[in-house]
Amino acid sequence: MRKISILVILVVLIVTSCKDSNIDPSCLNDKINELEDISCEDGVQITLYEFQGQNVYLLELGNCIADGSTEVVDASCRTLGFLGGLAGSNEIDGLDFYENAIFIEVVWEK
């Protein structure tokens, strides 16, 4: 019985660890190359969220850029809008992003 339990747990872990991020790898690599050139060392990252039923990525420029905005892109790296910045906007497509988005994971960090 114990062997079966261990086998079931392993199968569940393997199945749940598989992810389909639906992103064009060359697109994400281009964005990573851009972010690596930023002089900030702290907080530079790409974060995956679910927003309006699709995966979106926040391209965060880091903590050393005062009033820097965060670009929001879809899985094809099309810009959906910007968050923060001088205007302090939190809206994408007329919705408050942070109230309507679900954090999934940090995809990359510097």
Question: pLDDT of 70-105, one tens digit each?
Answer: 999 999 999 999 999 888 889 999 999 999 999 999
**Confidence grade of residue 10 (pLDDT, cut at 50, 70, 90):** very low
Domain boundaries, the chain: 21-109
**Confidence grade of residue 4 (pLDDT, cut at 50, 70, 90):** low
Q: Is the dihedral of CA 92, 93, 94, 100 positive or negative?
A: negative
* C-alpha closest to that of 69 among 78, 79, 77: 79
Question: pLDDT of 22-46, one tens digit each?
Answer: 455 578 888 888 888 887 888 899 9
Which H helix or E strand runs over 4?
A: helix 2-17
What is the pLDDT, as a whole number, of residue 5? 46
List beta partners, residue 108.
Answer: 46
**Confidence grade of residue 19 (pLDDT, cut at 50, 70, 90):** very low
